[in-house]
Chains A and B, each alone.
Chain A
Amino acid sequence: GAGVSQTPSNKVTEKGKYVELRCDPISGHTALYWYRQSLGQGPEFLIYFQGTGAADDSGLPNDRFFAVRPEGSVSTLKIQRTERGDSAVYLCASSSRTDNEQFFGPGTRLTVL
Chain B
Amino acid sequence: KQEVTQIPAALSVPEGENLVLNCSFTDSAIYNLQWFRQDPGKGLTSLLLIQSSQREQTSGRLNASLDKSSGRSTLYIAASQPGDSATYLCAVSRRGSTLGRLYFGRGTQLTVWP
Task: Spell out A's residues near B (CB within 8 Å).
Answer: 4, 31, 33, 35, 40-45, 48, 50, 55-56, 58-59, 91, 93, 98-107
Segment 29-55 of B: residues with Cβ below 8 Å from A: 31-32, 34, 36, 42-46, 49
Pairwise interchain contact B104-A42, C-beta atoms closer than 8 A: yes
- A102: chain B residues at CB < 8 Å are 34, 46, 102
Pick the residue among A31, A42, A101, A106 that contacts B105 (CB under 8 A).
A42
A69: min CB distance to chain B, Å = 13
Residues on the B chain within 8 Å of A44, using CB: 104
- Closest A-chain residue to B109, C-beta based? A40
In the complex, are the beta carbons of A99 and B93 less than 8 A apart? Answer: yes
Bound complex: CA A4 to CA B104 (Å): 20
In the assembly, what is the distance between CA of A35 and CA of B104, in Å? 10
CA distance A100 to B89 in the complex (A): 17
Task: For the complex formed, measure the closest distance between the CB of A6 and the CB atoms of chain B, giving whole angstroms.
Answer: 8
Report B-chain residues with C-beta under 8 Å of the C-beta of A98: 99-100
Closest to B104 in A: A42
Indicate whether A91 sits within 8 Å of B100 (C-beta atoms), given known contacts A42-B89, A42-B105, A42-B106: no
- The complex places the Cα of A35 from the Cα of B4 at a distance, in Å, of 16
What is the interface size of chain B, counting residues whose CB is below 8 A from a CB of the partner?
A: 25
Q: B103 in the interface, Cβ–Cβ < 8 Å?
A: yes
What 5 pairs across the A-B complex have the smallest Cβ distances? A42-B104, A104-B44, A106-B43, A48-B100, A104-B43
**In the complex, given contacts A35-B102, A43-B91, A102-B46, what are 18 additional A-B residue pairs having Cβ atoms less than 8 angstroms apart?**
A33-B101, A42-B104, A42-B107, A43-B44, A43-B102, A45-B101, A56-B97, A56-B100, A91-B44, A99-B31, A99-B99, A101-B34, A101-B49, A102-B34, A102-B102, A103-B46, A106-B42, A106-B43
Q: How distant is the Cα of A101 from the Cα of B49 in the complex, in angstroms?
A: 7
Q: Are B43 and A91 in contact (CB under 8 A)?
A: yes
User: CA separation between A107 and B36, bound complex, in Å?
Assistant: 15
Q: Which residue of A lies closest to B97 (CB)?
A: A56
Query: Are B43 and A40 in contact, CB atoms less than 8 angstroms apart?
Result: no
